[in-house]
Chain A
Amino acid sequence: MSAIATPPATSRRRAALTPRQVLVEVLKYTALLVLTVTWLFPFYWMFTSAIKDDPQVYTIPPVLVPNPAYWNNFADAWGKNNFNLFAVNSVFLYALPATLLTVMSSAVVAYGFSRVRWPGRDVMFYICLITIMLPWQVTMVPLFITFKSLGWLNSYLPLVIPNAFGSAFFIFMMRQFFMTIPEELADAARIDGAGEFGIYVRVILPLTVPALAVVALFRFLWAWNDFLGPLIYINEQDLYPLALGINRLRANISATGTNALAYPYLMAVSTIVVSPILLLFFMAQRTFIEGISVTGIKG
């Protein structure tokens, strides 16, 4: 995320435009420009505040272009507040294991819901779909009590292990993909005497790698972004994920009043935590959009 302005491109039409059409074009791009600036402004403010010093933060009118820019705020904010550890926790204790388990379990379950024919399958699938609507609050307290009695508090087990049982949203997503694969491929393997699981692993799964990537992408993103889960289960600071690290930085500000460089540091850390997601998004924009569209439309 860097620049905010986009040049309103001119219309691709070759024919001369009537004044009315010109007006429509101008209105269209004006609206887009206003939207873009408004929508990106919070990110611009996050980034520019990160490289300010305190006088630049507490000035009216607000400083839109920090000068001088304090680039080492990024390294200071990150390093002084233990964020390397939080990043390791976020990725290796939470996001990666959760992603791996989700991909494995959701694919196998979705296969059973789409490519194996069995009586009662569709009823079961609807039950599975309905669970998407179940508010997390309803299971929150009992699961907390259960995980507490298992001694799982202050660990990532309550956030990771449930992924081994598939998640309705991703099962749905994978099922949509499985249904697009022609049956003939499996039939050929069946004639060769392959069992259903063999067909799944050797024939169908290799064809669904792009779909698995969509699931992995979203699951990783959710874990990276998750705030509530760790808030409930993780109390020990050495185990904090990034989200709780940021929350603690914020809490320090409100507890001690605004101490030196409080806002620049908060914004610097936020900028760093946002960046990989932006990078990921721009590298895999199509995958993101397809994932959303598939689940959104064909429901």
Chain B
Amino acid sequence: MQSSRASALPWARLSSRDRRGLITGLLFISPWLIGFLALTIYPLIYSFYVSLTRYDLLRPPVFIGAANYVELFTKDAQFWKVVYNTVFYVIFSVPLSLGFSFLVANLLNARIAGRSFFRAVMYIPAIVPGICTAMVWLFLLNIQYGAINGLLQSFGLPAIPFLSNPDLAKPSLIMVAVWATGNAVVVFLAGLQDVPRSLYEAATVDGANGWQQFRNITIPMSTPVILYNLVIGFIGAFQEFTSAYLIFGVSGGPLNSALLYSPFLYQNAFQYLRMGKASALAWLLFIVVVIGTMMLFRSSARWVYYGGEK
């Protein structure tokens, strides 16, 4: 079994040591290589083919060209609603989670007692089963007997229809996303702890105040980690499934206002058995995620500071 890369190398020109290394290396990575071809490349191509067909799993696929794409763009009103919902979700949940977790990480990085306890508190929502936290949020946000509305009402305030008001459905999901952003907090905190103390000491000697140190040391030194969390958060938010699906169901809540892209795709594939349309949706998502990620990386040349690497 040969990778394309290996066959592109002129075998004859390799030294015998390189040849041995190549064979050994390929043998070691062969599980991944087989998986990459069978579970990534092949499905990727197959998926694109399916996206050009009408296929319900029962009858053989019928080639229909770009009809699935054309239908999505021109005839499917729900598609644009779902795109709007997802973009709204990404645009708000990613920066909010990022900003929030960065601030919390800075708070935890300050001289405080019980840092590992507070870090655990922030991190736990991110590691427990999503279905359990979705269930409790479903219950907490309930308008009649949810704890949040119960507390509001006992203070004489009006109840908030988090789950039944179309304008509040997405913000409710965003709230849950910010609550579960502990991963980013842990990564930020580890990054902050890597910033050399000497920089702050020098700045203090030069008379810089706390804000100036934050602005001119902490933020620039954290930009690689900000980029990492931004990319991970961006990709993850576009693919959010569990919380949206469980809190708002397959239909995506009131007037589909919380129907995100992944549950919509799932619904088309496994409820309506429209594999062609689902694959077209998947490819569109793929393209958007790739372009978005590339843009984030390209923009990083202008704002990410790598000078701190030792």
Binding site for B on A (CB under 8 A): 1, 6, 9-13, 28-29, 31-32, 35-36, 39-43, 45-46, 49, 57-62, 105, 108-109, 111-113, 116-121, 123-124, 127-128, 131, 133-146, 148, 162, 164-166, 168, 171, 196, 200, 221, 224-225, 227-228, 232, 242-243, 246-247, 250, 254, 263, 266-267, 270-271, 273-274, 277-278, 281-282, 285, 288-289, 292-293, 296-297, 299
**In whole angstroms, how far apart are the Cα atoms of A283 and B139 in the complex?**
30
9 contacts between A and B (CB under 8 A): A62-B147, A127-B36, A137-B285, A139-B44, A143-B39, A145-B50, A168-B32, A250-B135, A277-B129
Beta-carbon nearest neighbor of B268 in chain A: A141
Query: Which chain B residues numbered 160 to 194 have a C-beta less than 8 Å away from chain A?
Result: 179, 183, 186-187, 190-191, 194
Beta-carbon nearest neighbor of B290 in chain A: A133
**Would you give the 0/1 interface string for B270-281, flagging 1 where the beta carbon is closer than 8 Å to chain A?**
100001001101
Known contacts: A32-B118, A142-B50. The answer to whether A277 contacts B127 by CB under 8 A is: yes
Known contacts: A120-B22, A282-B120. The answer to whether A45 contacts B186 by CB under 8 A is: no
Across-interface contacts of A266 in B (CB, < 8 A): 135, 139
A58 in complex: contacting residue of B128, B145, B279, B293, CB < 8 Å: B145
Most buried by A among B9, B123, B128, B262: B128
Most buried by B among A57, A296, A299: A296
A45 in complex: contacting residue of B107, B131, B136, B290, CB < 8 Å: B136
Known contacts: A105-B32, A124-B5, A141-B47. The answer to whether A232 contacts B270 by CB under 8 A is: yes
**Majority DSSP secondary structure for residues of A touching B:** helix
* B239 interface residue (CB < 8 Å to A): yes
Known contacts: A138-B283, A166-B35. The answer to whether A281 contacts B124 by CB under 8 A is: yes
Query: Which chain B residues numbered 37 to 94 have a C-beta less than 8 Å away from chain A?
Result: 38-40, 42-44, 46-47, 50, 57
Query: Which chain B residues numbered 118 to 134 have a C-beta less than 8 Å away from chain A?
Result: 118-125, 127-133
Known contacts: A112-B29, A273-B129, A299-B228. The answer to whether A138 contacts B136 by CB under 8 A is: no
The answer to whether A142 touches B47, judged by C-beta atoms less than 8 angstroms apart, is: yes
- Within the complex, what minimum Cβ distance (angstroms) separates A154 from chain B? 14
**Would you give the 0/1 interface string for B233-276, flagging 1 where the beta carbon is closer than 8 Å to chain A?**
00100110110001001000000000000100110011000010
* B98 interface residue (CB < 8 Å to A): no
**In whole angstroms, how far apart are the Cα atoms of A246 and B42 in the complex?**
34
* B151 interface residue (CB < 8 Å to A): yes
**In whole angstroms, how far apart are the Cα atoms of A133 and B242 in the complex?**
18
Known contacts: A6-B117, A246-B131. The answer to whether A119 contacts B145 by CB under 8 A is: no
The answer to whether A119 touches B35, judged by C-beta atoms less than 8 angstroms apart, is: no
Query: Which chain B residues numbered 214 to 231 have a C-beta less than 8 Å away from chain A?
Result: 225, 228-229, 231
* B3 interface residue (CB < 8 Å to A): yes
The answer to whether B130 touches A225, judged by C-beta atoms less than 8 angstroms apart, is: yes
A sample of 5 more A-B contacts (CB under 8 A), given A116-B28, A139-B47, A141-B47, is: A140-B278, A148-B57, A243-B131, A270-B132, A296-B191
The answer to whether A116 touches B21, judged by C-beta atoms less than 8 angstroms apart, is: yes
* Contact residues on B (Cβ < 8 Å of other chain), bracket: 35 or more
Across-interface contacts of A297 in B (CB, < 8 A): 187, 190-191, 194, 225, 228
A171 in complex: contacting residue of B32, B111, B118, B293, CB < 8 Å: B32
* B112 interface residue (CB < 8 Å to A): yes
The answer to whether B238 touches A274, judged by C-beta atoms less than 8 angstroms apart, is: no
Known contacts: A270-B136, A292-B186. The answer to whether A39 contacts B43 by CB under 8 A is: no
Which 4 residue pairs across A and B have the least CB separation, nearest first? A165-B35, A112-B28, A9-B113, A118-B25
Known contacts: A134-B286, A138-B283, A299-B228. The answer to whether A247 contacts B131 by CB under 8 A is: yes
Across-interface contacts of B119 in A (CB, < 8 A): 289
**In whole angstroms, how far apart are the Cα atoms of A143 and B34 in the complex?**
15
**In whole angstroms, how far apart are the Cα atoms of A227 and B186 in the complex?**
24
The answer to whether A145 touches B57, judged by C-beta atoms less than 8 angstroms apart, is: yes
* B31 interface residue (CB < 8 Å to A): yes
- Within the complex, what minimum Cβ distance (angstroms) separates B228 from chain A? 6
* B208 interface residue (CB < 8 Å to A): no
The answer to whether A133 touches B289, judged by C-beta atoms less than 8 angstroms apart, is: yes
Beta-carbon nearest neighbor of A131 in chain B: B40
The answer to whether B5 touches A123, judged by C-beta atoms less than 8 angstroms apart, is: yes
**In whole angstroms, how far apart are the Cα atoms of A211 and B251 in the complex?**
42
B111 in complex: contacting residue of A11, A168, A196, CB < 8 Å: A11
Beta-carbon nearest neighbor of B8 in chain A: A120
The answer to whether B129 touches A139, judged by C-beta atoms less than 8 angstroms apart, is: no
